[in-house]
A and B are shown apart, each in its own frame.
Chain A
Amino acid sequence: MPEPVIASVGASPLGRTDLPGRDLFSVALAEAFDELPDPADLVEAVYVGNQSESYEHQIMYGTLLAEWAGLRHVPAERVEGCAAAGALALRHAVKDVRNGEHEAVLACGVEKMTSAGTSGATDALSAAFDRAIEQRSGITAPSQYALLAKRYLHETDATEHDLAEIAVKNHANAARNPRAQFPKEIDVATVLESDPIAPPLKLFDCAPVGDGAAAVLVTTAELAADLDRPQVRVAGSGASANNIAVAERDMTDIAGARIAAETAYEEAGIDAAAVDIAEVHDAFTVCEALLAEAVGFAPAGTGYQSYQTPAERADGWTDVQLSPSGGLKARGHPIGATGLLQALEAYEQLTGAAGDRAVEGAETALLLNEGGVADAVTVGHVLTTAEAR
């Protein structure tokens, strides 16, 4: 069975941009193929992570981006799973290469979130939640996660101050990431004094709205070597759906994330302790705490210590470094592109291209991408250096 590897990555600028989605993609693709043959000479299939047609009144994103890449007559499709769409696209590409269907597949993601302001994005994102009961009650993405946060603070020793520290840590990481939407440090008071969005979550607990695209080339180890590209192994991939309604789930044991991560660990032949860096889905600060527990980095009730150094954390924590990119919080969260931006960060970290933010000695990464509220759908990938084989 061919072993899938990532052989190249690219991204557009993130945040408020003057480019529509297809043009953001063109920018990301140009970076990814800068040192490669043209896509038409290499790519055999295209998957596009994309959340919503309400931003650009455009579906058929598979067809559109394949064409804009100079490809015609290849299989191409949009993949939908709200904010997990990007990792779902990556997973499809990985499976195609692994099962021998294709030798080179483009996994990409795009979202033009700023087209209708914050209220437009709020409306588009609310479509991810159960329509019959939860949307009709006026629920939003921040308020869904606030329900988890309220419960988490109730059940554990975590405080709003701890959640603020997670945002501070991720902004500090983003300050060393030239790709970040918010490459600047903040302090705890800035978070705690920011506007209420859905208590206990405040503005600075929330990932921003922003535009962005990312492109990732998945291929075989042999082809990547022929192309003389640095390569990162995709050693494991797992995915899991959970209830659509948040009310019916365990709101602090994020089971879908646990299953997606454990499946990816098992395929990779590792356990959680082997993970050096993790890009987890910190759409809201509380997510990083919940996910650290779900994927096996932290004992139950201690995930909020993710901002602390390994020496400071509770017994039973691994030495993992979380969200070296700055995470969704500060690197940015252009919904359909996010899962691929996570892969991009891991690729740069594991190939020695992460510059000032490089985590020394990192050989194994976990990517954890969620869609809907929390684990409505979760995708996990384990990436390792070629040497860790």
Chain B
Amino acid sequence: MTDGDLDATDPRTLPGFFDALADGELLGGVCADCGQVLLPPRPACYACGSRAVDVEPQSRKGDVFSYTAVHTPPPAFAADAPYTVAVVELADGGRLLGRVAADYADVAIGDPVELTVHEPTAAEREVALDYETDWPVHVFEPR
């Protein structure tokens, strides 16, 4: 097994992934052996076990695969509730969970959405761990 020397600039680590996301680039791992898309990128493919994982930009466009609304939030997000959350299937094949900037009643399975990114708000920074403070937050916008 060889992984080279992973450090925080490598997009197969979370700091590396979020640095790229802050610049608007959604990076995925793509398994060189079986093609599985891994979001976020990581050193190994869960589908086949291969450690030959390439890092490639992913389309930010996708469709709602499933969704709900959170009426009983964790204390950190109490002020936001109810808020809509979805699993989105992206155009390049990966799936990612995130908030949706729409009311639950206005969303349906199959709806087209696009991933957007914002700097963490003051409230989001407050509930972040030290090393997460500057990580961007993604939200899916209907398109």
Contact = CB atoms under 8 A, between A and B. Distances in A.
Interface string A187-230: 00000000111111100000000000000000000000000000
A133 B28 CA distance: 13
Contacts of B97: 133-134, 137, 139, 147, 245-247
A142 interface: yes
B71 A198 contact: yes
Interface stretch (B2-10, B51-59, B80-88): B80-88
Interface in A101-122: 118-120, 122
B70 interface: yes
Interface string A265-290: 00000000000000000000000000
28 contacts: A122-B74, A133-B98, A136-B124, A136-B132, A137-B85, A137-B97, A137-B98, A138-B85, A140-B70, A143-B69, A147-B67, A147-B68, A147-B87, A148-B66, A149-B68, A150-B67, A151-B66, A154-B66, A195-B71, A196-B71, A197-B71, A198-B68, A198-B70, A245-B97, A246-B87, A247-B39, A248-B39, A248-B95
Nearest to B18: A132
A20 B40 CA distance: 40
A51 interface: no
B16 to A, nearest CB: 12
Given A133-B40, A137-B97, A247-B95, A198 B77 contact: no
Nearest to A200: B68
Given A119-B75, A142-B72, A147 B66 contact: yes
Contact of A139 (B14, B66, B70, B124): B70
Contacts of B65: 151, 247, 251
A199 B72 contact: no
B94 to A, nearest CB: 8
A185 interface: no
Nearest to B120: A136
A120 B74 CA distance: 8
B74 A140 contact: yes
A126 interface: yes
B91 interface: no
A150 B104 contact: no
Interface residues of A, number: 36
Nearest to B105: A199
Q: How large, as a class, is the contact surface on chain B?
A: 35 or more
Contacts of B101: none
A200 B68 CA distance: 7
A4 to B, nearest CB: 31
Q: Which of A120, A198, A243 has the most CB of B within 10 A?
A: A198
A23 interface: no
B73 interface: yes
Contacts of B70: 138-140, 142-143, 198
A359 B140 CA distance: 49
B99 interface: yes
| Closest CB pairs A-B (n = 5) | A146-B68, A138-B77, A151-B66, A247-B97, A247-B95
B20 interface: no
A123 interface: yes
Given A151-B65, A154-B66, A251-B66, A133 B71 contact: no
B74 A119 contact: yes
Given A150-B109, A247-B97, A198 B39 contact: no
A295 to B, nearest CB: 22
A118 B67 CA distance: 23
Interface string A235-255: 000000001011110010000
Contacts of B128: 136
Contacts of A197: 71-72
Contacts of A123: 74-76
Contacts of A201: 68
B102 to A, nearest CB: 14
Interface string B23-41: 0000000000000001110
A243 B39 CA distance: 11
B72 A133 contact: no
A247 to B, nearest CB: 4
A247 B85 contact: no
Nearest to A130: B97
Contacts of B80: 138
B39 A150 contact: no
